[in-house]
Amino acid sequence: MKRLLLNSTIASVLVASAGVSMSQTMPMPATPTTKILAIGTFPPGTDMQLVQHTLPTEVRETAQLYLEGKIDQWYSLQDRAGVAFILNVTDVDQAHEMLEALPLGKAHLMTFSLFPIGPLKPLSKLLNSPAPQ
């Protein structure tokens, strides 16, 4: 009886570990782009007086994009001068065109790094795992 219990325990451990190694080798599912994270900063040597002069128009046009639903959220960067926008677009080229059309973009006073973002990939593992008992 003890031998049967030991064998079934070993078998359970082997099956469980095989499942873990299989899931580690299986690729994560593709994540759809649902928004674009845009980080705007000032290039080295930017004339900050010109930025200050341009800022009222920049703020008005940025607020208009927000009211049109193209900007979902907007933040200031904490560690340097700049902004972070979460855009309601899924195409990086479209996001680039939209931001370059703003006054600071037109004047080449701000540059943006664009990052496609989407749902957190590891959450899909929860849907494919058996429920805890």
Mean pLDDT of 73-88: 96
Query: For residues 47 and 55, is the Cβ–Cβ distance under 8 A?
Result: no
- List phi, psi (to 5°) of 3: -65, -40
Shared-domain flag, residues 42 and 66: yes
Q: Is the pLDDT of residue 109 over 60?
A: yes
Q: Which of 119, 129, 104, 12 is nearest to 50 (CA)?
A: 104
Shared-domain flag, residues 14 and 47: no
Residue ranges making up the domain that contains 49 = 35-117
Amino acid code (one letter) for 49: Q
Is residue 129, in this structure, part of any structural domain at all? no
Shared-domain flag, residues 8 and 66: no
Q: Which of 114, 93, 96, 91 is nearest to 106 (CA)?
A: 96
Find where tokens 């593992």 sit: 125
Shared-domain flag, residues 63 and 97: yes
Q: What is the pLDDT of residue 91?
A: 96
Q: What is the pLDDT of residue 28?
A: 61
Q: What is the pLDDT of residue 29?
A: 63
Is residue 124, in this structure, part of any structural domain at all? no
State pLDDT tens for residues 42-56: 999 999 999 999 999
Distance separating alpha carbons of residues 118 and 95, to the nearest angstrom: 15
The total number of structural domains that make up the chain = 2
CATH number of the domain that residue 77 is part of: 3.30.70.1060
Is pTM beyond 0.75 here?
no
Is residue 132, in this structure, part of any structural domain at all? no
Shared-domain flag, residues 52 and 109: yes
Distance separating alpha carbons of residues 51 and 42, to the nearest angstrom: 9
Shared-domain flag, residues 18 and 73: no
